[in-house]
Structure 1
């Protein structure tokens, strides 16, 4: 791990062994039924609970989904809108298989998988009306975009 001095002079390890100082590390969502929300992300996206405890006077759950992280706060959303959040993007392998499993389970899927030269996606609502874009990048995407999605630049 790379060491860096903070403004207070303390040395800190850089996350993930990278030289980058800043990382979008997690999304934190309110959950009106935290157990239902945990079950949803476990079932559909193989989420793993890494910590479940009290933080700031309420139950907080930290989950990993692939390389990403999601935190849940056991409290109903404070308003009916999504504030500035439009959707969360869930990258998958086997888009059509995930779609068919969700459809067979009775989840409301307003549209079929939308295909384009760069892959495909569909939208579905998670608990508390959190809108998810479930997507799989295609092989014909710009190499820079494939690299961004962690797929490298090759086929």
Structure 2
């Protein structure tokens, strides 16, 4: 699988650990994130991840900022993106099962790196259930 990842200054340590996890598990990673703690603007890193997923250059995306909100809002501006802000493994799992989320947003200031890796693992391993959820997901797109 190819995973696109982007982060602002709140997430370099998270990104490094997640990229390490992904590569150890045979995934290809497209890195759009910053590697420093110098203040940057999260949209500069969220939009490229959303473009990668939208264009099918990446199968899934992961975005990281302090609260997870700003970068999720950025990604969700893209028509075919369903970016889920998750802070527990259960929410990450439900975001895939019920919402067919294609980008995971991680709040670096509210989760541990270990929790983030666990969420990534579950997010990537969980399938969309379809069924009654498919119609709801279709309505999200406003097409």
Same fold at TM > 0.5: no
TM-score by length of 2: 0.32
TM-score by length of 1: 0.31
Q: Normalized per residue, which structure has more strand?
A: 1
Q: Normalized per residue, which structure has more helix?
A: 2
Higher relative CO (CA 8 A, sep ≥ 6), structure 1 or 2? 2
